[in-house]
Each structure stands twice: as structure tokens, then as C-alpha cells.
Structure 1
Amino acid sequence: MTQLLLHLFVKNYQDTGDPEVRGQYGRLAGLTGIAVNVLLCAGKFLAGLLSGSVAILADAVNNLSDAASSVVTLLGFRLAAKPADDAHPYGYHRAEYLAGLSVAALILVIAVELFKSSLKRILAPETVAFTAVGAAILVVSIAAKLWLCLFYRRLGRAIRSEALTASAADSRNDVISTAAVLFSYAVTQLTSIPCDGWAGLFVALFIFWSGLGIARDTIAPLLGEAPDEALVHGIANEIRSYDPRVLGIHDLIVHDYGPGRRFASVHVELDAREDVLEAHELIDSIERDVTKKLRVELVVHYDPVVTDDAELSAVRQRVECVINAIDPRLSFHDLRMVRGREHTNVIFDLVLPFDLRGEEDAIRRRISEALHAEGHHYRTIITFDSEAFNDIHTRMEADVTEPPVPEEPSGARRE
């Protein structure tokens, strides 16, 4: 059924990276959700009136809120497809996250209201009349919501949509809550035990817990979570394999402005003997081709490295041995030396894991002592980088170092 709907209503549905195709996915999901939930709401409302069950009526209201959530999702995708303008130069793609957050808010409100009505029913039980029509409507509702959950999940995974993932979770909750209502409906008929209110209370708590999870998942990208690992390694692999002249990469930073709108910057290391114009052409080609293939606006910073300086190679090996002894997770890049009359500055960036923050002075001291033990007048100037931007740090040759640069003050960082 899902495949048929995609064939009928989404042109080029396999090209999920295309913003236009993504918008069509969102429209299909929104309209389908509205249609299914409105029909289920009408059926459950009828069953609730016939039986007098507060749990069934609450479930009907829940479906009505789901229809409203589908409207919000539809509007979110429509707004996200709006082109960038002067006020929002990076586009409106984060509107999809706001749609998911709105769905979570509606779920939480419904959970609170259902909790109140269920608590009242527990304190003042009422007789629930069992009808075959009501039971049949609940069974059909479970089947419909199960299909809708799988439908949302497939579309959400295809386009990596937080809003559709939230809708899938909401539909799953509806399957569980309606099953609980059906169970209490049957138990009340068979045993005369007034469990209608308790079933509604269980459903309310479950829905509330799920709403909190959905809110957490949609807030995370708005606050600025770590980039998608597959994307990070995809960019890294594309650059590393692009040309044999690429010696290594580091400082890869990805900015996410919403689904399908991402920017990235990275430092690419090339041999310092490479012709400047040819190196520039290579960098331009990497930016252009990676942007086209991965749909990420990429900016590359060119780092020249020296491969034929024996002293630099020796220092590099020594630094590598020291940091491995301190912690194997440590890595470094942008190593260069500035030779002076009385001492030589050894300058590099050290990638520091999050749990070692606060240990910078101790690490700097151990590295300095190790270099001084060689009998040279080395002074270390270390800039500590975040692991978040350097977990894909790679170097394709072991003995490479940066070319000398004019002497700079302690703690300075080369751009």
C-alpha cells in the first residue's frame, strides 16, 4: 500500500535528497494522516457515545489531536520548502523540527487531559455498555493505526525526518492505547469490574512519556547536536579518496540548518611543494564535486605540509610517542617549527577528548619535558581542539609536518 501511494503521489520518489521530493513525501504523509485520523475519530466518537466509555471518547479525542498534528506536519513541510530570502539566508528548513516539536506539545496536552478524565472516572465509576459495533471499531482502529505507524516510519527513514519519526511514534502509542481500551472494554463486560478509568489512566501515562521522548528528539537538533556520523564519514571518505595528492584532513565542522540544508568546512593537507595554482584548482574541484554528490555546501581550507625535513619528522615522531603514552585517543595536526636564535617553537593543535578537559596544563607540561629531554631548546605552543570537530582526523603519510611560518606569540593559532 505504501509503495503504491509513493508511485502515485511522489514523482521521482527514490531521489530522497531532492528538496522537492522531500516536500512531496511530507505532503503525502500529512494528507494521509489527516484522512485516517478524522475517520477514526468519527468512528470512536460514535462508539464512545453508544457505550458511555470515557476511555473510548478519550481515544477519539486523541485521534482528533493526531489529525491536528498531521496538519502541523503538513504546514511544517510546506514552510520548510520555502526558498531562502534576505531575512533567512539559510532557508526555512528548521521549520520541520518545529513541526515535530508542535506534535510533541499536542501529545503532552492530550495526555494531561486524558489523565484528568480518567482520574475522575476512577473516583466515580460508571457503567460501560458493551456493543459489538464499538468493539469492531476499536479493532479496525488498531489495524489502521498500525499501518499508519509503519507508513510514517518508512517515509521518515527514507527522508530522515524528525517530524515523521515523531508521527510514527505517536501512531504506535495509539495502537497500544487503543488495545488497552479494548481490553478494559472486554474485561468490564465479562467481569463487571469498573476498569475503564484505570485503562484511561494507563493510556495517559504512556502517551505522556512518549511525548517527552518526542520532544527531546526534536529539541536536540535545534540546540545543535553532533552531526550525523554517516554524513561526517561520507565527507571524509570522499575527500580522502578524491586525489592521491590529498595527504590528510582535519577540523571537519558541519552546520545543520535543517533537513537538506547543511554546510561544512574542513582543512585538507597537500604537499607544500605542490604548485599553488594547481593546489587551488584541486581544492575548488573537491568543493564543487563533494557539494554536488552529498548536497552539502563545502568550504575547504588548504594546509601545506612539508615531507622532506628530517628534524620536523623526528619531532613529529617524538610528539606522537608522548601523546600515545598519555592517552591513545589523543591526536594532533598542524605541526610546524619556527626556528629562532635561542630556541625553536614547536607549534601544533592537539585534539582533546571531552573527558580530559581540565588536564591541558598537565598534558602540555609532559610534552614539553619530553622534547626538552632530547637536548634541544624547544618551546611548545599547543592549541587544544575539541574532539567534536576532529574525530575523523586522518593523515595518509606518517612523516609529514607543516612548513615553517613566521614566529608568533605563545598561544597564537594559525588560521
Structure 2
Amino acid sequence: MAAQAARLSLGVALLVLGLKTLAYLLTGSVALLSDALESTVNVAAALAALAAIRYAQKPPDDTHPFGHSKAEYFSAVLEGVLVVLAALLIAKEALPKLLRPTPLEGLGPGLLVSLLASGANGLLAYHLIREGRRHRSPALTADGYHVLSDVLTSAGVLLGIGLAWLTGFWALDPLLALLVAGNILLMGFRLVRHSVGGLMDEGLPPEEVEGIRRVIQERLSGRALEVHDLKTRRAGPRTFLEFHLVVPGRMSVEEAHRLCDELEGDLEKAFPGLVVTIHVEPESERQR
């Protein structure tokens, strides 16, 4: 279940934060500090994702007849904001050291600890993205891609610190931290953009809408006259579809109802999580 994946994310995030903090304490590297600061965001994001997923799974009620699935977008927006704040904190720590580079100590043990943390994060990212797609969970998917970005960032940091160690060019340490900050900032803006789109009832991508239209046309071939005013929106793991279906004037209410049931079944089978609403109209409503 999505909630189990979120709990796993929280546990691994706490472990990774501890390892990266230890790596920073062993070396004094501002680049490793930036890596640890990003992991504090992972912990906060995992907490938010777990809370949002639990709330989103609540069934519809009188005040929320369409369910609570949009709650996951609030978690993703919060994660994006936290990511931006982490980037600013990293830049604040790195800029002074860029002006006054200092040699680092204890790099061997520190880099080994950081490598272990990155390995754990890599496995977690793979699991979260897979489970997020499987459960159609924006919170889990966002968390997974955030952790994946953390893995890539850590790999770059480790490579750069290794080069600084070999060459003695210690300015690489704060330079890497600033590059990490820029990457994190970009990721934060992307997370916020995607989540705000969900909160604003942004429609599905054109390729998904085209897939829906194909299923409709295959089922309705020769049985209905027209489909128009097709609209889509996504709310967490659920996707909502509505459209107007024009049927021949001679078709009975029972026939039209049976046709709608068949069409809904085909659409829900082809697109799991789809909630379909069809408005049946007589031939006189056909668009010219």
C-alpha cells in the first residue's frame, strides 16, 4: 500500500540524514553539509507525504463528495517549498567558503559513510517511484523523484570532493555546494508547478486524452452520433472524465443507459482509477 511505502521512506530518510550528518562532521565539507541539509528536506517531505496519503485515502463524505485525494498535492507543494528553502540555506553556507577555501580532513571515512547513504537512497528512490506509479500517488512519486535527485546530487558531490582531494583545489567544495543548491532550486520549482497544476484541475496530457477518445470511438462505432465537451482532471490517484454523448432520437432511455454502462466499463478497464460521468443528449443537440 501507498502508506507502507511512505513509512519506509520516512525510516530510510532518517537513516540517511544520520549518515550524511556524520559524513559532514568527519570532514567539515560544505558540499557534504549541503547533501545533509537536503536530507532534512527528505525527512520533512516523507512526514508530509505519509500524512497526506492517509488523509487522501479517506472515503467520500457529505462535505467532500468527490473524496479527499487532492490532499496529496498539498504534500507535494510543501515538499517543493522545503526544497527551495534548503537550496537557499546551502548557498548561505557555501558562499563564505568559496571566498576562503580550506583543506578538508577525514575524507576517507566521510566519503565512505556518504556512499553508504547514497546507496540506501538509490534503492528507496526506485521503490518509491515504482509504488507511486502503481498506486497513482502524486505524493509518493514526487517523493521518489526528489530522493532520486538527491542520489544524483550526492554522486556529483562525492566525485567533486574526490577530485579536490587529489588535486588540492579545495574551492571545488563550495563550488559543488552551489551547484547542488541550483539543482535543488530547479527541482523545487518543478515540484510546485506540477502540484499547483493538480490543485487547479489541470487536464490530462494530450496523448492520454487521445487514448480516451480512441476507446470511446471503438465502443460507440455505429451506436452513437457524437461525443463533445470532453473534459478531464486529475486528483491524486483518481482521474475524472466527463463528456456529452449524443444518441439517435429513436434510442430508448434503457438502451442509452446500457450503452453508457458498457462505455464506462471499457474506459475504467483501460484507465484504472478513472471516474466517468456521461451526459446523454438527443439527436437535436448534435453540434453542426
Report the TM-score, using the length of structure 1 for normalisation: 0.62
In the alignment, structure 1 residue 208 sits paired with structure 2 residue 189: no
Corresponding residue number in structure 2 for 1:353: none
- Other-structure match for 1:260: 238
Give the Cα–Cα distance (whole angstroms) in 1 for the partners of residues 110 and 104 of structure 2: 11
Alignment coverage as a number of residue pairs: 280
Deviation, structure 1 residue 121: 1.6
Following superposition of structure 1 onto structure 2, how do residues 2-21 of structure 1 map, counting pairs within 5 Å?
Answer: none
Aligned to 2:271: none
Contact 1:44 1:59 in 2 (8 A): yes
CA distance in 1, matches of 2:234, 2:21: 43
Cα 1:183–1:77 change in 2 (3 A) is same
Rate the CA distance shift 1:301–1:240 in 2: closer, same or farther, 3 A. farther
| Partner residue of 1:241 out of 219, 229, 251 | 219
Distance 2:81 2:104 in 1: 31
Q: CA deviation at 1:201?
A: 0.8
Q: Does 1:288 align with 2:261?
A: yes
What is the one-letter code of the residue matched to 2:132? G
Matches within 5 A, 1:220-369: 220-228=197-205, 229-230=207-208, 233-234=211-212, 237-238=215-216, 240-241=218-219, 244-260=222-238, 262=240, 264-274=241-251, 279-292=252-265, 294=268, 295-304=274-283, 334-335=286-287, 348=288
Residues 255 and 175 (structure 1), Cα distance of their counterparts in 2 relative to 1, 3 Å cut: closer
Q: Which has the higher contact order (CA 8 A, sep 6+)?
A: 2
Does the 8 Å contact 1:73/1:163 carry over to 2? yes
Query: How much has 1:237 moved relative to structure 2?
Result: 2.1
Which of 104, 115, 126 in structure 2 is aligned with 1:139?
Answer: 115
Map Cα deviations across residues 295-351 of structure 1 (whole Å, 9 max, x no partner).
41423222226xxxxxxxxxxxxxxxxxxxxxxxxxxx825xxxxxxxxxxxx4xxx
User: Which stretches of structure 1, 4 residues or longer, exceed 6 Å deviation after superposition?
Assistant: none
Q: How far apart are the structure 2 equivalents of 1:115 and 1:221? A: 30
Q: Is the 8 A contact 1:235 1:290 kept in 2?
A: no
Q: 1:51-98, CA deviations, whole angstroms, 9 ceiling, x for partnerless residues?
A: 111221221222122021111111111111112223222221101111
Task: Give the % identical residues.
Answer: 27
* Alpha carbons 1:111, 1:205 under 8 Å: kept: yes
Paired with 2:162 and 2:87, the residues of 1 have a C-alpha distance of 23
Give the 5 Å matches for 1:151-170.
151-170=127-146
Letter in structure 1 aligned against 2:191: I
Distance in 2, matches of 1:243 and 1:205, equals: 52
Q: Which runs of 5+ in 1 are unaligned?
A: 1-23, 306-332, 336-347, 349-415
More deviation, 57-66/233-242: 233-242
State the distance in 2 between where 1:255 and 1:187 align: 48
Q: Which has the larger radius of gyration?
A: 1
TM-score by length of 2: 0.87
Question: 1:80 and 1:235, CA in 2 relative to 1: closer, same or farther beyond 3 A?
Answer: farther
Pair 186,256 (structure 1): closer, same or farther in 2 beyond 3 Å:
closer
Cα 1:255–1:57 change in 2 (3 A) is closer
Alignment-mate amino acid for residue 136 of structure 1: L
- Checking the alignment, whether the CA contact within 8 Å between 1:265 and 1:301 is kept in structure 2 is no
Cα–Cα, structure 1 residues 174 and 90, in superposed 2: closer, same or farther, change >3 Å? Answer: same
Name the structure 1 match of 2:43: 67
CA contact (8 A) 1:108 1:211 kept: yes
Instruction: Tell me how far apart the structure 1 counterparts of residues 186 and 261 of structure 2 sit (CA, whole Å).
Output: 45
Residues 219-269 of structure 1: CA deviation (Å, up to 9, x unaligned): 11212222354366436624651574323322222344442252x432223
Task: Name the CA distance, whole Å, in 2 between partners of 1:46 and 1:267.
Answer: 60
Task: Spell out, residue by residue over 1:164-193, the C-alpha distance to the aligned partner (whole angstroms, 9 max, x if none).
Answer: 332222122212221222123222322222
Alignment of 1:163-202 (within 5 A): 163-194=139-170, 195-202=172-179
Q: Measure the CA separation in 2 of the matches of 1:208 and 1:243.
A: 49
CA contact (8 A) 1:37 1:67 kept: yes
Once residues 210 and 222 of structure 2 are traced to their aligned partners in structure 1, the CA distance between those partners, rounded to angstroms, is: 20
Q: Please identify which structure carries the higher strand content.
A: 1
CA-based RMSD: 2.4
For residues 276 and 246 of structure 2, the distance between their equivalents in structure 1, rounded to whole angstroms, comes to 19
Distance 2:77 2:153 in 1: 21
